[in-house]
Amino acid sequence: MNDLLWPALALLPLLVTTLALAVADRTSSPPSEPLVRGLSVGSALLSAVGVVGTVLTGTGVDVVWIPALGVDLDLRADGISTPLVLLTAGVGIVATALRHTRPPVDRTEEDRTAPLVGQHGVPGLAAYHACLQLVLLGALVTFLSRDAIVFFVGFELVLLPMWLLVARHGDAHEAARRDGAALRFVLVTATGSTLMLLGILALSTLTGTTDVDRWAELAGASLSGREQLLVAVLLLVGLGLKVPVWPLHTWLPWVHSTAPTAGSVLLAAVLLKMGTYGIVRLVVPVVPEGFATASPVLAGLAVTGIVWAGLACLVERDLKRLIAWSSIAHLGFVVLALATGTETGLQAALFGNVAHGVIAALLFVVVGALKERWGSADLTVARAALREVTPRLGFALVVGMAASMGLPGLAGFWGELGAVYAAWAPAEDRTEGWFRLFAVVAAVGAVIAAAYAVRVLREVWAGDRLLPAIPDSHRVEGVLIGVLVVAVLVLGVYPSLLLDVTAADAAALLTGGVR
Amino acid sequence: MTSLQWPDLPDLPALPPLPDFPGAAAQYVVAIPLLAALLAFLLGRTSSRTAAWTVVTGAVLTLGAATWQLYTISVGVVPRVSETVGPLALGELTVPLTLSASPLTAITAVAVALVALVVQVYARWYLWYDPRYRQFAATVSLFSGAMLLVVLSGDVVLTLVGWEVMGWCSYLLVGHISAKASARRAAAKALLVTRFADLGFVLGLVALTAGPGSTAIADIVDHWRAEPGTALTVAMLLVIMGVAGKSALVPFQDWLPDAMEGPTPASALIHAATMVAAGTVVLAQLFPLLQASDPARTTLAVLASATTLLAALLAFAQPDLKRLLAWSTVSQVALMLAALTAIPVGEGPDTAVLHLVSHALFKALLFLALGWLAVLAGGTLVSYAVSGVRRYGSVRRPLGIGLLALAGVPPLVGFVSKELILGSAEAGVQAATPGPALIVLAAVGAGAPLTAAYCMRAWLILSRPVLVRGNGRTGEQLDDFFAEPEVMVEAVGVEEAEAAISSPARAGITTLSLLTVVGGVLPLTPFFDVELHLNVPLLVASLLLMAAAALFVLAASRGVRTRDAAARLPAVLNLAAERGLGADTAYLTLVARPTMALARGVTWLDREVLDGYVRAAGRAARLLGRGGERWSPVQPAPSLVLVLAGVLVLAVIGVVLR
């Protein structure tokens, strides 16, 4: 029973808080903002303690849940999932601690002069925090689960609260856009989930189990080549919608431009990772031959996405959408690294995954704060140079963009370099010529990343305008940004911190079977 | 031709044993400036003084550590390989992340540390009133740390780390005065041009690494030496592309003169010891591979030779003396790289590294002295700087020494390093594959008089006699009781000059002047293993050519009010030279505009085609769903409860089925 302590501490606070807040939201006098936010942050902190405990003690839950379907509630963290659950817990604290203000609306000419900042008393704040809690819960279940069905449950648990965050608490400029974003999100992710469920069910019928460790041990032995390919394609398309892989990416900029700051942070740092994690868990070791067959196409799409999204960043007008595009490019590197089928590639992908989570969280916190102050994130509007008026936010943006362009010493570098190397020297069963071409294209994408980083800094950070003045980061923002900047720096300077955690399990994953 | 063995100095006297420090010197040399940068950034938030003390202390300690390293290497203390944050667990790829020091890299490190120290001290004076002094000082410290990392790197990944960090620091330093539009543009240009070229650098290093499956430079050199061929040539050509970007070779040369927008200490650092010299350092580390691939060598020889001549020509016609120095950097750095290709197979890259060190000394001197003059005269345009060294006597000596060294006048350090390059190129011509050496010999031969010409031009402008001052003491005039005598005017100028600068900054300039004068003995030290290819006729011919060029410039400057020989050139040529022959326009037309057009095309496709399917699917789903809309929950909280209820039901089913 002692074993249950830490996992329970990781999950139960989130569940209980979700219920409490969801109920509280329906009462006639909803609780005040400090209370709701305090409860939410407290629960995220407790859960983070639980997650750290689970990881350190290596404990887990293992109860038979639905024996008729062979479904076990098997929640444990191994080397692959440890960085991701820690990321989720950390980002969870960031997301809940961010103050949610009234979403911006289209304002008439008369009230243009009204102050933007400090509009509190947001309706439905309790429900908003309930959604955040539920997203965290779902993400933790997804990453901890060693059973494909439970993985799927966690995966699905995230969708609806996320949709609510976008549709109800998002940017209210031009209502149609918010509507369009929510529609795209729900449509795409529901389609993706359905395809993934089909793949999981196919695998469970073919192997007779839903235990992913068992799947990895079998390594597709009981499947014919054609079956492997079919399952791999189903799962890759389903998960690829989530990642997202080009050309299934069009929903992401929409959702990011609309979602509230905390929603964007969670979406970029946690939700997208569920897609890549799914590929690592359900595809790479499970149907190795099918994955190998599909990998040149996957890698080709990934590098197309890198260049495509990078180019889009050069002309994008909305800063939040721009960061969303850059996310697509970064995840392109992760997918490319996975597709190479080497241990180097897998390590680079796992590193890049977490690095992007931290960098994207930082960038979205900063850009969200800017959008709140500016009233929109439109880059064509002339604004005060951040370096002159808000040096702290400006510094955070510089670090974020530098990390985004893959500057060494910051987190983004190792994953991208590893991906390019792995593509240059792919596994034996990959076509070397194609992958070398992909390596070149990916390197071109990295150059484009520098170009858009420079573009953003030149348009937003540097300049001589001092008006309209906006306030610099306040205390909570300052602390959150500081923590994320330190994380970006530490991962960049000392990558072994993460690489050593994943190394053993990554090696085991490719050689079949678990450690 | 006579070939002599250069006599080595007797071994250094054995100093008392140093206390046993934990770790290797190289680790200190790299870590101290990085830590100083971080500390200065964090501690200097409220006071520039704290920041200054931090970075200057860091720079002094770095110089100390670098000197200690040089000493330990000279007395043959063997453990030269030291660890950093590695090895990395990157699967099949071995990434040891080690530092490694050899005599050549150790002396380069000392030069870098010295220039960094002088620049830090100077910057404290130069940016005294700058509210962003802290950021500047921290960036300079980070910059020098990154350069030292490249110099002492034993692993191509560390080389790449230092290389890219330098590019980023140059962006921050060049764009330091970010309220100025031209500085913002120059910073972006510096980063983008070099990062574009780094495309080749990254791929080249990846390709080199893929051979042995290890990123250690020693492994890479061993592996590819054993199997040279097309793969090696391709990889080296890619690396050379990156080097061409950082070292401003044709066709990437145009970012460097624009980088003059940065404050003078930043220019001194970028031009003298870091960034542009990094290419030479990396190729010196990969030297056996460069020699193993003739196509790569020839390509580099052609690029470097073309650059050194073109830049020398452009330097002559610049209307701004700071830009003249910038183009002279392009020319001199190309000369180092040319030297690498001309060295006969089997010999080490010593002559190129010697020129690197020599150039670091005199170029830092020139930039810092010119910056001093600019503060006094109000700018570096010819019209401001004219008569500069006459009016402000104190800058006369440093600028004179720097220009003489740049021109290659004996016995200054610039003369020694250039003659050694000439000699080794001449020896290279006798070798089995004389192609690259022949090109380089021609370029160096033609470059020497050109360099002398633009140095002469700069000196003539700077030292023009003061024509008219006050109420016009020249010509016939009644003796005016109130007119100050000539001697007084000069004394006032010296006083002004010395009052303007801080004494530590002045001491730094004096140190560099001194080293520029006595640096000629460097090849005699045991750190350089220089084969002396002494060719007296060649030497005399090159000196005569230089003298002829200088005389020609002197003649041309007669009758021009500012004594500017370039004023004799047609205005079209002057204008074209000032604009770098339109390279900027070419970058825009060939790369930037097509990329932006492509980007617009891509976003159009994305919006109209890819997203079109999603939108259509959305509309279809809407239509289908309209029928059931009445029953679907539209309030968020109930739907949330419904989801949870669903989870609960699932759980119950689970328990029941059990």
Answer whether A130's CB lies under 8 Å from B640's CB: yes
B255 CB-side CA count, 13 A? 31
B598–A421 C-beta distance less than 8 A: no
pLDDT tens string B46-89: 788 888 999 999 999 999 999 988 888 877 765 578 888 878 88
Alpha carbons B302 and B321: distance in angstroms, whole number: 28
- Residue A507 confidence (pLDDT) above 50: yes
Question: How many Å lie between the alpha carbon of A380 and the closest alpha carbon of chain B?
Answer: 16
Distances (CA, A) of B433 to B286, B298, B337, B428, B532: 19, 10, 18, 8, 20
Residues in B closer than 8 angstroms to A71, CB to CB, are 654
- Cis amide bond preceding A104, omega within 30: no
Which of A153, A424, A463 is opposite residue B178, by nearest beta carbon? A463
Alpha carbons B284 and B126: distance in angstroms, whole number: 34
Interface membership of A213 toward B (CB under 8 Å): no
Distances (CA, A) of A485 to A362, A477, B71, B547: 7, 12, 39, 58
pLDDT tens string B130-165: 888 999 999 999 999 999 999 999 899 999 999 999
Distances (CA, A) of A201 to A206, A209, A277: 8, 10, 18
pLDDT tens string B180-199: 899 999 999 999 999 999 99
**pLDDT at residue A463 in the model:** 86
**Taking every pair of C-alpha atoms in chain B, what is the biggest distance, in angstroms?**
121
pLDDT tens string A78-103: 889 999 999 999 999 999 998 887 65
Q: Which token pair is A36? A: 């709701």
Residues in A closer than 8 angstroms to B622, CB to CB, are 183
A353-357, B71-75, B289-293, B575-579: which has the minimum mean pLDDT? B71-75
Give me the mean pLDDT over the A248-254 stretch: 88
**pLDDT at residue B37 in the model:** 92
Alpha carbons A270 and A132: distance in angstroms, whole number: 12
Alpha carbon B334 to chain centroid distance?
A: 12
- Residue B424 confidence (pLDDT) above 60: yes
B202–A462 C-beta distance less than 8 A: no
Answer whether B144's CB lies under 8 Å from B116's CB: yes
A222 versus B35: the higher-pLDDT residue is B35
**pLDDT at residue B235 in the model:** 93
Q: Which token pair is A424? A: 């240059």
- Residue A447 confidence (pLDDT) above 90: yes
Alpha carbons B206 and B579: distance in angstroms, whole number: 36
Label the pairing between strands A71-75 and A61-66. antiparallel
Instruction: Check residue B99 and report its DSSP letter.
Output: E
**pLDDT at residue B481 in the model:** 64
Polymer length in residues for chain B:
658
pLDDT tens string A380-409: 888 888 888 888 999 999 999 999 999 999
Phi, psi (rounded to 5 degrees) for A62: -145, 90
**pLDDT at residue A83 in the model:** 92
**pLDDT at residue A102 in the model:** 64
CA-based nearest residue to B159, from B99, B221, B92: B99
pLDDT tens string B88-134: 888 888 899 989 888 889 999 999 999 999 999 999 999 888 888 99
- What is this structure's pTM? 0.90
Residues in B closer than 8 angstroms to A506, CB to CB, are 91
Phi, psi (rounded to 5 degrees) for B421: -65, -45
Q: What is the mean pLDDT of chain B?
A: 86
Interface of A with B in 2-31 (CB under 8 A): 18-19, 22, 25-26
B610–A462 C-beta distance less than 8 A: no
pLDDT tens string B357-396: 999 999 999 999 999 999 988 888 888 888 888 888 889 9
Alpha carbons B509 and B494: distance in angstroms, whole number: 16
The rounded percent of chain A whose pLDDT value lies above 90 is: 43
**pLDDT at residue B11 in the model:** 57
**pLDDT at residue B17 in the model:** 58
CA-based nearest residue to B30, from B158, B177, B185, B128: B158
Return the number of CB contacts < 8 Å for A and B: 195
Residues in B closer than 8 angstroms to A414, CB to CB, are 88
**pLDDT at residue B274 in the model:** 84
- Residue A175 confidence (pLDDT) above 70: no
**pLDDT at residue A259 in the model:** 87
Burial class for B17, CB neighbours closer than 10 Å (0-12, 13-18, 19+): exposed
**pLDDT at residue A515 in the model:** 47
Interface of A with B in 442-471 (CB under 8 A): 443-444, 446-448, 450-451, 454, 458, 461-464
Query: Quick one: pLDDT band at residue B614, thresholds 50, 70, 90?
Result: confident
**Residue whose token pair is 């494909």:** A148
Answer whether A514's CB lies under 8 Å from A221's CB: no
B621–A183 C-beta distance less than 8 A: yes
Query: Quick one: pLDDT band at residue A12, thresholds 50, 70, 90?
Result: confident
Q: Which token pair is B518? A: 């006595």
Number of other CB atoms surrounding residue B10 within 10 Å: 7
**pLDDT at residue B278 in the model:** 92
Answer whether A384's CB lies under 8 Å from A469's CB: yes
**pLDDT at residue A432 in the model:** 87
Alpha carbons A101 and A375: distance in angstroms, whole number: 12
Could you tell me which residues come within 8 angstroms of residue A228 by beta carbon, excluding any fewer than 6 positions away? A220, A287, A288, A289, A290, A291, A293
B92–A344 C-beta distance less than 8 A: yes
B571 versus B324: the higher-pLDDT residue is B324
pLDDT tens string B208-255: 999 898 999 999 999 998 888 899 999 999 999 999 999 999 889 899
Q: Which residue of B has its CA nearest to A183?
A: B618
Query: Quick one: pLDDT band at residue A116, thresholds 50, 70, 90?
Result: very low
- Residue B655 confidence (pLDDT) above 80: no
B210–A425 C-beta distance less than 8 A: yes
Checking ipTM against 0.90, whether it exceeds it is: yes
Question: How many Å lie between the alpha carbon of A369 and the closest alpha carbon of chain B?
Answer: 23
pLDDT tens string B284-337: 999 999 988 889 999 999 999 999 999 999 999 998 999 999 999 999 999 999
Residues in B closer than 8 angstroms to A507, CB to CB, are 91
pLDDT tens string B13-25: 555 555 666 778 8
Q: Which residue of B has its CA nearest to A401?
A: B168
Question: How many Å lie between the alpha carbon of A108 and the closest alpha carbon of chain B?
Answer: 28
Alpha carbons A285 and A331: distance in angstroms, whole number: 20
Secondary structure (3-state) at A65:
strand
Q: In one letter, which amino acid is A213? A: D
